[in-house]
Amino acid sequence: MTNNSEARGFTLIELVVVIVILGILAVTAAPKFLNLQHEARKATLAGMKGAMASAAAQVYAVSALNGLDKSPSGAVSMNGRSIEVVYGYPLNQYRRVWSELLVGEFGEVPYQEPSDYEWMWHNPNPTKDGLYIMPRNFSNKSQRCYVMYKPPVSSATQTYTLEMDDSGC
């Protein structure tokens, strides 16, 4: 009698080779997927910068129409809300100004937990420092993932400062 049964399945060597190949692929692909998170945070931050620039331009347009573009202080009405301005641009205060201009869940550094909010804001010294907006889980400008806004300091400069640092995102 002859045994005609055919061997089916993988040998142990084939299984080990497949596992090693999958391990090598995973190690080479992991940095690419981890870098996608970094790129997503950078893109989100760039979106916030764009939203802030757009809001500042809209406020300036209304300010110019009302003759406040050369004034060191004033307020304009937008959508039934008062927006404080400095030389036509929004004041760098979140509670009094930017909370009316930006959409999202914002927490204040250091008083609220950064993981509970979509965005965090920090305005340590409004007369000296800018307004810092940071994405979730970032709560310090030294983490280098923020957008910073400062209004103009005089009518001669006639422009605001809007900087983005995404090197730590």
pLDDT of residue 7: 64
Which residues are CB-contacts of 81 (< 8 A; sequence separation ≥ 6)?
100
pLDDT of residue 160: 93
Express each pLDDT in 91-139 by its tens digit.
Answer: 999 988 999 999 888 999 888 888 889 999 998 887 778 999 999 889 8
pTM reported for the whole predicted model: 0.78
Among the residue ranges 2-6, 22-26, 85-89, 148-152, the one predicted with the least confidence is 2-6
Residue 49's φ and ψ, nearest 5 degrees, are -60, -45
pLDDT category at 153 given cuts 50, 70, 90 is confident
Examine the pLDDT at 163 and tell me if it is beyond 90.
yes
pLDDT of residue 2: 57
Taking residues 27-38, what's their average pLDDT?
A: 77
Q: How far is CA 10 from CA 3, 7, 41, 92, in A?
A: 20, 9, 44, 67
Give me the percent of the chain exceeding a pLDDT of 70: 95
Q: How far is CA 141 from CA 71, 73, 148, in A?
A: 30, 28, 9
pLDDT category at 3 given cuts 50, 70, 90 is low
DSSP 8-state symbol, 163: E
